[in-house]
């Protein structure tokens, strides 16, 4: 396992994405938070902007959809060339069909659960997904406090991935910094979204390398 570090551009300068991307070249992917002001109480941008982000990025784009109507809207992001598209279980009426459609459109398919949502559905259908995202804050805003109580879900998901021998990633998102990444990697997460703890630094690539090193050292401990 090599930890993946995906900076969230929710904490970047929205008027200068091109120059912001140049400061995070050591990342594994760029995490792009799409919010609609309904599924979460915050609004960012939609498909036209993400399409341009995909065009200007040299790194894969990891789209995190915090929107309603994913069953109709999500495939557009896969068609646009997103490397992975994550939708929330809470927003989808037909998650299995949606995961298959995303993969059919050439992207990886990921399912996310909010802090209040259990893992039963995800565990019952793990083989349908390329990645599972366990939210470690209530989705909607950057800069919130990491919820260590979510580590039970991370440990449970990791145990099931190992038991089934699946080649899928286990992502955490929210409040990840050089301290909390130790806790999340020890619990079994292998893919880490970090917004404020990367973009607040003057040397963001150094912070990305530090986070990856801490995660690799603590994975599964």
Residue 3 backbone class (left: φ over 0; alpha: ψ -120 to 50; beta: rest): beta
The packing angle between helices 180-187 and 204-218, to 10°, is: 40
CA 170 to chain centre: 9
Residue 143 contacts which entry, Zn ion, ligand DX5, none (Cβ below 5-8 A, type-dependent): ligand DX5
What minimum distance in Å lies between the beta carbon of 48 and ligand DX5?
A: 20
Scanning residues 111 to 130, which ones bind ligand DX5 (CB under 6 A)? none
What minimum distance in Å lies between the beta carbon of 42 and ligand DX5?
A: 8
In the sheet with 4-7, reading across from the earlier edge strand, the strands are: 4-7, 191-194, 169-173, 131-135, 108-113, 84-88, 61-66, 30-35
Nearer to ligand DX5, 95 or 174 (CB): 174
Exactly one of 36, 173, 177, 190 is catalytic; which is it? 173
Scanning residues 13 to 42, which ones bind ligand DX5 (CB under 6 A)? 31, 33
Chosen residue from 104, 143, 148, 220 binding ligand DX5 by CB under 6 A: 143
Question: Do the Cβ atoms of 5 and 24 come closer than 8 Å?
Answer: no
- 175 near ligand DX5, rule: CB under 6 A: yes
What minimum distance in Å lies between the beta carbon of 137 and Zn ion?
A: 9
Query: What H or E segment, with its residue span, contains residue 75?
Result: helix 70-79
Residue 175 backbone class (left: φ over 0; alpha: ψ -120 to 50; beta: rest): left
Q: Is 173 a catalytic residue?
A: yes
What minimum distance in Å lies between the beta carbon of 215 and ligand DX5?
A: 14
Range in contact with ligand DX5 (rule: CB under 6 A) among 102-110, 116-124, 194-202, 209-217: 194-202
Residue with tokens 């919010």: 35
Task: Give contact residues for ligand DX5 (rule: CB under 6 A).
Answer: 8, 10-11, 31, 33, 64, 137, 139-144, 173-176, 193-197
Active site residues: 33, 173
């Amino acid at each position: 396992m090599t930890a993946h570090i995906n900076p969230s551009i929710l904490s970047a300068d929205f008027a200068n994405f091109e120059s912001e991307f140049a400061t995070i070249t050591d990342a594994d992917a760029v995490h792009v938070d799409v919010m609609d002001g309904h599924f979460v109480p915050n609004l960012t941008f939609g498909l036209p902007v993400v399409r341009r982000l995909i065009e200007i990025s040299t790194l894969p784009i990891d789209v995190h959809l915090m929107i309603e109507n994913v069953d109709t809207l999500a495939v557009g992001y896969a068609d646009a060339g997103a490397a992975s598209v994550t939708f929330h279980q809470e927003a989808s009426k037909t998650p299995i069909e949606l995961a298959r459609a995303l993969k059919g459109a050439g992207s990886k398919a990921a399912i996310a659960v909010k802090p209040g949502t259990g893992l039963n559905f995800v565990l019952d259908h793990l083989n349908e997904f390329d990645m599972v995202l366990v939210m470690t804050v209530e989705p909607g805003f950057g800069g919130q406090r990491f919820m260590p109580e979510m580590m039970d879900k991370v440990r449970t998901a990791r145990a099931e991935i190992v038991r089934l021998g699946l080649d899928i990633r286990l992502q955490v998102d929210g409040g990840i910094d050089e301290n909390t990444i130790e806790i999340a990697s020890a619990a079994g997460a292998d893919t880490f979204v970090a917004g404020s703890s990367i973009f607040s630094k003057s040397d963001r690539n150094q912070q990305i390398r530090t986070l990856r090193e801490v995660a690799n050292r603590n994975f599964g401990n």
